[in-house]
């Protein structure tokens, strides 16, 4: 599929509370995220998953959010401040060639990449950066929307992930998404 980044203004549609009917953040993430964890969320947009993640990691945890769009991150920070969870969030602006997370090498307990891989120009480099940030044995929840990715494309992404060193730990059912839980060996 063609490389394309979701426009920043679409972020308002993505934080619609009705989205939680099909993709409830707490239900999707609570099996993986505990108090005190270091979480990486790539492509948080305006924080649909970020704010629940910040509550789950609590005051001793941190959610490191990386996005290519400053307007998305600014909206996320405003929303997080209103919800009193900004102190748990490390919002970072990255670019299309690097996530800028080298300082997190081996620090991440759980990573979330939801509806982002189809927007990246180099899937292998993208997944490799995430892999390096993770602790051995930690998990990555990877999900791609069926409207933006094909099953064949998602399977190619999984093959790349395996080459890097991930193993498939599960295939959760997420509405309107292809999804996999990957474990860092």
CATH C-level class of 8-184? alpha beta
Determine the Cα–Cα distance for residues 106 and 184; give it in Å rounded to an integer.
11
Would you say 178 and 154 are in contact if contact means Cβ atoms under 8 Å apart? yes
Can you tell me the distance from the alpha carbon of 133 to that of 79, in angstroms, rounded to the nearest whole number? 26
* Confidence (pLDDT) at 8: 57
Query: In the chain, what percentage of residues exceed pLDDT 90?
Result: 76
In angstroms and rounded to an integer, the radius of gyration of the C-alpha atoms of the chain is: 15
Q: Is the pLDDT of residue 66 over 90?
A: yes
When comparing pLDDT for 5 and 138, which is higher? 138
d(CA 148, CA 10): 14
Q: 73-94 pLDDT, tens per residue?
A: 999 999 999 999 999 999 999 9
C-alpha 76/C-alpha 44 separation (Å) is 8
- Domain ranges in the chain are 8-184
pLDDT at 72: 87
Most confident residue range from 70-74, 119-123, 158-162: 158-162
pLDDT of residue 1: 36
Terminal alpha carbon distance of the chain: 29
> Residue 11 has what pLDDT?
54
pLDDT at 15: 61
């Amino acid at each position: 599929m063609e490389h394309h980044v979701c426009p920043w203004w679409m972020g308002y549609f993505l934080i619609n509370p009705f989205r939680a009917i099909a993709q409830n953040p707490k239900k999707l993430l609570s099996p993986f995220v505990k108090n005190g964890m270091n979480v990486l969320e790539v492509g948080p947009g305006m924080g649909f998953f970020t704010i629940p993640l910040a509550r789950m990691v609590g005051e001793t945890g941190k959610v490191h959010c990386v996005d290519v769009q400053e307007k998305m991150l600014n909206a996320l920070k405003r929303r997080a401040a209103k919800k009193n969870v900004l102190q748990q969030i490390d919002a970072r602006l990255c670019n299309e060639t690097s996530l800028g997370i080298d300082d997190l090498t081996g620090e991440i307990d759980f990573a979330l990449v939801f509806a982002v891989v189809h927007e990246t120009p180099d899937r292998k480099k993208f997944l490799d950066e995430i892999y390096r940030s993770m602790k051995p044995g930690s998990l990555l929840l990877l999900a791609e929307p069926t409207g933006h990715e094909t099953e064949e494309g998602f399977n190619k992404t999984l093959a790349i992930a395996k080459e890097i060193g991930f193993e498939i730990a599960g295939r959760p059912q997420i509405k309107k998404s292809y999804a996999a839980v990957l474990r860092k060996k």
